[in-house]
Each structure stands twice: as structure tokens, then as C-alpha cells.
């Protein structure tokens, strides 16, 4: 471990110990009381693991625990934005993976990655200029788990990311911090079925002209599942572009949370941002909380957000029933259609099929 990295980890430990585990009194954690969900045990200091299923050719990897890890690891690890819990993963995760796609390499085969075990883990992914990769992320149901992921995209690099998790009985939190150079592109889909407390937080810095981030996600929550997706996209340079589309269905005592903040820095003229979050509540005890936030410091921008929470459209339901479709089937059809909208963002057909399957199963259990 380099001295610089050791220092970063020490700082992270000090910051985390100073702040402690966030409670709902922290505004960003208002809808996800991590401290009370974890109880006495807290996050612990165990180390979880990252497993990859087959290493596609052209991809370099290093073990974060390896004291002789290559220079690019300590150059990037722990340098991106951190929140309260990723301070902890940086401080306590003993291992984890670092992956690099060298400049100009396009990796054709998707990389399958699984997060496993309870505890803290760290992942670093570097795509150098012009490189491209497709990442498929899954995770087991071990809890509590705290994953800190850093993704660095060089100029013109492109990353396609799909995350599909299973319903988790415990607490899982994950923070993904990204930095995008000019013309880099990040496209991601997050399918979530919740946990006792489940939170994914993305901090995306569009650092270069023309960088783009496109996010979408679906959540299907039943029982007492909670799923929080919190995003913060920072348009630091001009002509940057971001879109977000999140669809949520909550039944039982499910609780769907979306908090999305878009910041346009001073001088980032030509920034364009679209943000949509919609939720459907299926029971008297379900809850949805949406907070789409804009923070604009430049005038030549196009920024909009829309949010809606509601019931199925009565007219559509009537139309289907008038054609002899039983009400339950008609409702199911409309709910599938509501979510399908957000799945179209997944570019690979095989991956989209897997996500659609998981959504189908979760809905079947709910309806």
C-alpha cells in the first residue's frame, strides 16, 4: 500500500468515527435510518468479497490487499467523492478488486461481478481513454454489507452497467462514485427488490465537456422491503448531458425512496438534464418518498424534472376490462407496462431478459 493511500484510509477512518453511522436526522438519510436498521451491531469491521466470473481478455486486475498493487490502483483508490458509509468501506475493507481496461480496448464480453459476504468491500474500476466495457453486477443476500465502488472513465470511455440484486433480509448499502472525462459515457440500470434497508447512492461527476450519464432503474417492493436510490449528478463542464428514469412499485409495507440531485456548476453552459421518478402504491401500508432536486448555477441550461406518485390509470383499466380481460390480469398488465418503460434503457437483450424475469417474479409475489 502506498503512503498516499494509507493516509487516505486513515483520514477516512477518522471522518467516519467522527460522524458515526447516519440517522434520519441527517437530511440525506431522512428516509433511510441506517443506524436504527443496523441496531447495536453497527456495520462491523468484517471484510466482504468481490467475485468475478471469468476474466474477459484484455482486462487487467489487481487485488486491493496486495501490497505490490500497480501504481494505477493507489493513484485512483479513495480519490472520488465519499459519503458517510463509503468512508467506512475505504477505512475498513481489507480486500477488494481493482480492474482496468487499458486505453482504446473494447471488451466485447460482459464482465459478471458478484458481491458476496457480510462486511465492507471496495471495488475500483478504471477505463482509460477510449476503452469500453459492459458490467453485470449481482450480489448475494449476506448482510450487513457496505460496498464502496469507484469508477473512473477516461476521455471517450464508455461503461454500460446493470445491477440486479435479490431481496435481502438484512441491510445492504452501496455507494458508487464516478468521475467522467470529456465525452465519456456511463449508462446504467439498477433493478432493486429491497431489503430491511437497502440503499444505493450514486455520485457522478461529469468532469469533461460532453460527458454523459444515463440512469434508469426499477424497484418492486413487497413485505417490509425498503429500497432507496439516491443520486447526485454534477455537471461540472459545458454540454454535459444526463437523463434519469426511475420506476417503483410498492405493495405490502414496502417503502420506495428516490432522492436525486442534479447540480450544474457555474459556467457549465449547454448542460442538459432530465429527471423522472414515478411510483405506484399497491397497498394501504406502502409508502413512496421522492425528492428530485435541482441546484443550478449557470443560466444557459436545460434542466427539468418530473415526479409522480399515484394509482393505475382508471381509463386504461376500464379499456382492458371492456375487452374481457379480468381486473387482476388487467392490473398486472398495466403494472408490467409501467415498469417496462425503464427497462428499455438496458442495451443488451440477454441482460434485459434476466432483469425482466426477476421483475416478473417479484410482481407475481406481490399481486
Partner 1 sequence: MSSPAQLETKAQVAEIGDKYKYGFVTDIEMDMAPKGLSEETVRFISAKKNEPEWMLEWRLAAFRRWLSMKEPKWARVHYPQIDFQDAYYYAAPKNNPLKQSLNEVDPKLLETYNKLGIPLNEQMALAGVAVDAVFDSVSVATTFKEKLNEAGVIFCPFSEAIRDHPDLVKKYLGTVVPVTDNYYATLNSAVFSDGTFVFVPKGVRCPMELSTYFRINASETGQFERTLIIADADSFVSYLEGCTAPKRDENQLHAAVVELVALDHAEIKYSTVQNWYPGDENGKGGIYNFVTKRGDCRGDHSKISWTQVETGSAITWKYPSCILRGDHSVGEFYSIAIANNYQQADTGTKMIHLGANTKSRIISKGISAGKAQNTYRGLVSIYGKAKNARNYTQCDSLLIGGNCGAHTVPYIESRNPTARIEHEATTSKIAEDQLFYCLQRGIPQDEAVSLIVNGFCKEVLQQLPMEFAVEAQKLVGISLEGSVG
Q: How far is the CB of 30 from partner 1 (least distance, A)?
A: 8
For residue 76, which of 212, 170, 178, 175 has the smallest C-alpha distance?
178
Instruction: Identify whether the C-beta of residue 114 lies closer than 8 Å to the C-beta of residue 141.
Output: no
Phi, psi of 103 (to 5 degrees): -50, 135
- CA torsion through residues 213, 148, 118, 99, sign: positive
Binding-site size for partner 1 (CB under 8 A) equals: 36
Which value, in Å, is the radius of gyration of the alpha carbons in the chain?
A: 20
Near partner 1 by CB under 8 A: residue from 267, 344, 353, 357: 267
- How far apart CA 66 and CA 81 sit, in angstroms, is 24
Question: Is residue 6 involved in binding partner 1 (CB under 8 A)?
Answer: no
Note whether 42 binds partner 1 by CB under 8 A: no
Span near partner 1 by CB under 8 A; candidates 80-88, 237-245, 302-310, 331-339: 302-310
288 lies in the binding site for partner 1 (CB under 8 A)? yes
Query: Is residue 279 near partner 1 by the rule CB under 8 A?
Result: yes
Q: Does 307 bind partner 1 (CB under 8 A)?
A: yes
318 is a contact residue toward partner 1 (CB under 8 A): no
CB-count exposure of residue 360 (10 Å: 0-12, 13-18, 19+): middle
Peptide bond into 144 cis (omega under 30): yes
Scanning the chain, the segments in alpha helix (DSSP H) are 3-19, 34-38, 71-76, 84-92, 314-322, 327-343, 349-366
269 is a contact residue toward partner 1 (CB under 8 A): yes
Residue from 10, 66, 295, 327 binding partner 1 (CB under 8 A): 295
Interface with partner 1 includes 327 (CB under 8 A)?
Answer: no
The C-alpha angle 47, 49, 53, rounded to 5 degrees, equals 175
Task: Give the residue, chosen from 64, 80, 303, 339, that forms a contact with partner 1 under the rule CB under 8 A.
Answer: 303
Residue 229 binding partner 1, by CB under 8 A:
no
Query: Among 38-46, 107-115, 305-313, 348-356, which window interacts with partner 1 (CB under 8 A)?
Result: 305-313
Choices 84-92, 101-109, 119-127, 303-311; region in contact with partner 1 by CB under 8 A: 303-311
Binding partner 1 (rule: CB under 8 A), the pick from 10, 300, 327, 329 is 300
Q: Which of 302, 337, 344, 353 binds partner 1 (CB under 8 A)?
A: 302
Residue 164: in which H helix or E strand, if any? strand 158-165
**Least distance to partner 1 from the beta carbon of 201, Å?**
18
Binding pattern for the stretch 20-39 against partner 1, x by CB under 8 A and - elsewhere: -------x------------
Nearest approach, Cβ of residue 235 and partner 1 (Å): 12
**E strand segments, 181-322:** 185-192, 195-206, 212-221, 226-235, 241-250, 255-264, 272-281, 287-296, 302-310
296 binds partner 1 (CB under 8 A): yes
Identify the helix (H) or strand (E) that includes residue 171. strand 168-180
Q: Does 281 bind partner 1 (CB under 8 A)?
A: yes
Contact positions vs partner 1 (CB under 8 A): 27, 266-267, 269, 279, 281-311
Amino acid at each position: 500500500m502506498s503512503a498516499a493511500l494509507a493516509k487516505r484510509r486513515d483520514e477516512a477512518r477518522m471522518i467516519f468515527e467522527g460522524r458515526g453511522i447516519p440517522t434520519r436526522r441527517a437530511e440525506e438519510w431522512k428516509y433511510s435510518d441506517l443506524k436504527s436498521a443496523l441496531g447495536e451491531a453497527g456495520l462491523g469491521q468484517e471484510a466482504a468479497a468481490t467475485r468475478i466470473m471469468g476474466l474477459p481478455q484484455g482486462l487487467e486486475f489487481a487485488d486491493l490487499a496486495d501490497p505490490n498493487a500497480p501504481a494505477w490502483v493507489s493513484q485512483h483508490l479513495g480519490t472520488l467523492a465519499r459519503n458517510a458509509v463509503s468512508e467506512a468501506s475505504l477505512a475498513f475493507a481489507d480486500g477488494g478488486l481493482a480492474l482496468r481496461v487499458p486505453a482504446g480496448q473494447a471488451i466485447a464480453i460482459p464482465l459478471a461481478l458478484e458481491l458476496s459476504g457480510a462486511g465492507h468491500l471496495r471495488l475500483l474500476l478504471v477505463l482509460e481513454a477510449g476503452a469500453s466495457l459492459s458490467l453485470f453486477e449481482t450480489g448475494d443476500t449476506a448482510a450487513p454489507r457496505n460496498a464502496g465502488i469507484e469508477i473512473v472513465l477516461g476521455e471517450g470511455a464508455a461503461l454500460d452497467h446493470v445491477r440486479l440484486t435479490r431481496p435481502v433480509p438484512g441491510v445492504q448499502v452501496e455507494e458508487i462514485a464516478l468521475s467522467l472525462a470529456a465525452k465519456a459515457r456511463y449508462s446504467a440500470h439498477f433493478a432493486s427488490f429491497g431489503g430491511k434497508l437497502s440503499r444505493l447512492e450514486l455520485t457522478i461527476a461529469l468532469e469533461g465537456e460532453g460527458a454523459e450519464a444515463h440512469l434508469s432503474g426499477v424497484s418492486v417492493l413487497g413485505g417490509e422491503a425498503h429500497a432507496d436510490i439516491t443520486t447526485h449528478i454534477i455537471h461540472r463542464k459545458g454540454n454535459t448531458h444526463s437523463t434519469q428514469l426511475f420506476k417503483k412499485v410498492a405493495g405490502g409495507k414496502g417503502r420506495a425512496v428516490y432522492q436525486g440531485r442534479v447540480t450544474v456548476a457555474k459556467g457549465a453552459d449547454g448542460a442538459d438534464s432530465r429527471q423522472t421518478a414515478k411510483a405506484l402504491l399497491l397497498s394501504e401500508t406502502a409508502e413512496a418518498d421522492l425528492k428530485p432536486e435541482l441546484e443550478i448555477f449557470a443560466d444557459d441550461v436545460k434542466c427539468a424534472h418530473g415526479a409522480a406518485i399515484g394509482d393505475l390509470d382508471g381509463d386504461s383499466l376500464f379499456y382492458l376490462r371492456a375487452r374481457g380481460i379480468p381486473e387482476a390480469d388487467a392490473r398486472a398488465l398495466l403494472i408490467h407496462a409501467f415498469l417496462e418503460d425503464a427497462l428499455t434503457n438496458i442495451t443488451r437483450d440477454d441482460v434485459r431478459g434476466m432483469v425482466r424475469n426477476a421483475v416478473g417474479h417479484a410482481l407475481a409475489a406481490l399481486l
